[in-house]
């Protein structure tokens, strides 16, 4: 049996932690795959915040959610993810079970509207503050497009600098594929200081 894809591994990490009723964030809604996944896991009593700077992405996400039942309250937010903290209900701050980032550009859309470290890194910092102990942040990195290599390197440096007594950080990567293939970086907030 082969290893699961990078995207599936990110969802697996989130699914292991996100309990019904818990809040979660999709930091890059795109076509809504992760938003729908989080909304299913969080369920009727839960809340999912989905951020994207492109209205087209939020529209695609809304249509993916359409007709589905048993979903969380999904808030589609036309905001940059570095404004995550202010966009959350105060009661959800420090309570997030999962925050998912899928960096890069919207498939089939303007490749100039791409995530950039100048907003990605503040958003990752905010996500770390907003997670509950035991919660997870996932970031799929795409070194293959222009600027993507710089962004992936910035995110890796950011993760390496996280204090080890408060966070654990890993990568999940196929090492015998092309060097610029997408890979996952994940961070979990430790439940107690070591």
Q: Which residues bind ligand SAM (CB under 6 A)?
A: 28, 30-34, 51-54, 57, 80-81, 102, 104-106, 113, 115, 119
Is 113 or 169 the residue whose CB approaches ligand SAM more closely?
113
- CB of residue 96 vs ligand SAM: minimum separation in angstroms? 16
Is 113 or 190 the residue whose CB approaches ligand SAM more closely?
113
Residues in the chain: 194
- CB of residue 91 vs ligand SAM: minimum separation in angstroms? 23
| Strand residues in the chain grouped as ranges (E) | 24-26, 47-51, 73-77, 96-102, 131-141, 167-172, 183-189
Is 31 or 40 the residue whose CB approaches ligand SAM more closely?
31
**SS3 state of residue 32:** coil
Other C-beta atoms lying within 10 Å of the C-beta of residue 51: 25
Find all residues with CB under 8 Å of 159, minimum gap 6, and list them: 169, 185, 187
- Using CB positions, name the residue nearest to ligand SAM: 30
Is 125 or 168 the residue whose CB approaches ligand SAM more closely?
125
Return the H-helix or E-strand segment holding 143: none
- CB of residue 18 vs ligand SAM: minimum separation in angstroms? 16
Which two structure tokens, joined as six digits, stand for 77?
Answer: 């937010």
Is 47 or 61 the residue whose CB approaches ligand SAM more closely?
61
- CB of residue 77 vs ligand SAM: minimum separation in angstroms? 9
Whole-number Å distance between alpha carbons of 20 and 93: 17
- CB of residue 25 vs ligand SAM: minimum separation in angstroms? 11
CA 144, 146, 149, 152 torsion: positive or negative? negative
């Amino acid at each position: 049996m082969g290893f699961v894809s990078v995207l599936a591994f990110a969802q697996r990490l989130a699914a292991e932690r996100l309990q019904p009723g818990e809040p979660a964030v999709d930091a890059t809604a795109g076509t809504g795959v992760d938003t729908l996944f989080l909304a299913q896991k969080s369920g009727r009593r839960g809340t999912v915040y989905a951020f994207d700077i492109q209205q087209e992405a939020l529209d695609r996400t809304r249509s993916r959610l359409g007709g589905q039942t048993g979903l969380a309250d999904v808030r589609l937010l036309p905001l940059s993810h570095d404004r995550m903290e202010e966009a959350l209900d105060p009661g959800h701050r420090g309570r997030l079970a999962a925050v998912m980032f899928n960096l890069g550009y919207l498939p089939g859309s303007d490749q100039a509207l791409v995530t950039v470290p100048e907003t990605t890194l503040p958003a990752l910092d905010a996500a770390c503050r907003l997670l509950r102990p035991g919660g997870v942040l996932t970031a799929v990195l795409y070194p293959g497009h222009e600027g993507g290599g710089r962004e992936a390197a910035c995110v890796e440096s950011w993760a390496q600098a996280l204090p080890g007594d408060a966070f654990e950080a890993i990568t999940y990567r196929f090492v015998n594929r092309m060097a610029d293939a997408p890979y996952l970086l994940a961070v979990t907030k430790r439940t107690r200081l070591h």
